Amino acid sequence: MKASRLFVLFLLFSSLDCVAAGLDGSVVWSKIGPHLEVANDQVWNVKALPAGRGEPRSFRFYALRFHLGYYQLKLVDVGEFARSKAESIARDQNVDKTLPAVFELGLRTIFKINPFSEKIVAAAPAGFPTSSRNPTNLGLLKIDGVERFKLVSKGPSAVFCLDNPPQGSSGYEYQIPTFFRTSVQSNLIDGCRDEVQTGPRILEDPSRFRVQQFDADSTTVETYRRKIDGREEAVPVYLGIPDTPPNYVKYLRAAFAVDDPGRISDQNKERDVARNAYIIVTTTPAGFWDLQDMFKSPEFYANEHYAPHWAINLPGDDYAALVHVKSLPGEGANTTEIGSVTLRQATVLAVVVRK
């Protein structure tokens, strides 16, 4: 083969690698709407390899990043959705509305038959199903202050709260999501209006240490360095995934995270200072350790102002999926689907345009 043809092939394969990651290994984020970005079919090469395991680890993933001042998180109880939207579902799927057991109740259906008045831009799994046939949630689910399913004390280790009390009712123009430990934070769990039991915790929420005086010494703390107005700032990152063999086990994964975007305002209740939120779904197997490696790394955020805040695992394996808009504004065939979007879910996390 002539040298010129070899050079062309080299350029071709190099360009394909650059689609999966920036030249410095950073994730490539593309704008698809106001305050809305996507990372399409990226590769993450794990940098902090587990102790005693020097072999390379990597996985492929999709991710959505959205500004919580302009988008809002909501939960969908899929069983209640099937009852309240039976006629619309049956008409869309050309089935008998009196036979909800035959309904397709995956993320695609939630997205198409939007249960909210606001425009939906993404849907992902939120709660673990009790079975693949029955859309009931394993563990606590509360929506609009109404408990749909009870807390399972020996179930998933955290409760994901969409809006942290008391800030959630204090005039903020954005949500402040957090999570609570199921074992020790029952008073805070009771105070949240919209929450779902899930986990494990990938990066701990620093505010939980301040509120409950958890022993930070028992948690591995790393220092993350970001730049604000040209000066370097050290940000503590509390790791939730220990270096133990079960955390290296690979499955398809879904996760939710929020960052510390370094936005400054005299009026900190204004929407523009809200955090960014992230939904990620892997398309090749990954371990909890691998996700933590990504969420604590500057290359994931690809913005010198952004720093990690916290991250939590969502239902994975066959349930790891995501539906999101390709662009805003847009209608019709304007969605990207990742994973098994027709698989029956128990609880869905929806992202809607904030009014």
Rounded-to-integer distance, Cα 252 and Cα 104, Å = 22
Runs of H (alpha helix) within 246-313: 288-295, 298-301
* % of the chain with per-residue pLDDT over 70: 87
Q: Higher pLDDT residue, 6 or 20?
A: 20
Q: Cβ neighbours of residue 131 under 8 Å, at least 6 residues apart?
A: none
pLDDT at 99 over 50: yes
Q: Mean pLDDT across the chain, nearest whole number? A: 88
**107 within 8 A of 64, measured Cβ to Cβ:** no
pLDDT at 266 over 90: no
pLDDT band at 342 (very low <50, low <70, confident <90, very high): very high
Q: What is the mean pLDDT of residues 5-12?
A: 37
What confidence score (pLDDT) does residue 332 get?
A: 52
**Secondary structure of residue 307 in the 3-state scheme:** strand
pLDDT at 9 over 50: no
Burial class for 346, CB neighbours closer than 10 Å (0-12, 13-18, 19+): buried
Beta strands in the chain (DSSP E): 30-33, 36-45, 58-67, 71-77, 120-127, 141-143, 146-149, 158-161, 178-181, 195-198, 201-203, 221-228, 231-238, 254-260, 276-282, 307-314, 321-325, 335-339, 347-353
pTM of the model: 0.90
pLDDT band at 17 (very low <50, low <70, confident <90, very high): very low
Q: Which amino acid is at 244?
A: T
What confidence score (pLDDT) does residue 186 get?
A: 75
Per the listing, tokens 């619309």 go with: 88
Per the listing, tokens 């350029």 go with: 11
Q: Which amino acid is at 182?
A: T
pLDDT in tens, 67-89: 999 999 999 999 999 999 999 99
pLDDT in tens, 103-112: 999 999 999 9
Q: What is the mean pLDDT of residues 117-145?
A: 92
Peptide bond into 329 cis (omega under 30): yes
Task: Quote the tokens at residue 79.
Answer: 């069983």
Q: Higher pLDDT residue, 135 or 292?
A: 292
What confidence score (pLDDT) does residue 159 get?
A: 94
Q: Higher pLDDT residue, 268 or 122?
A: 122
pLDDT at 238 over 50: yes
pLDDT in tens, 138-171: 999 999 999 999 999 888 989 999 998 766 657 8
Runs of H (alpha helix) within 182-338: 186-191, 206-212, 288-295, 298-301
| Structure letter (DSSP) for residue 70 | T
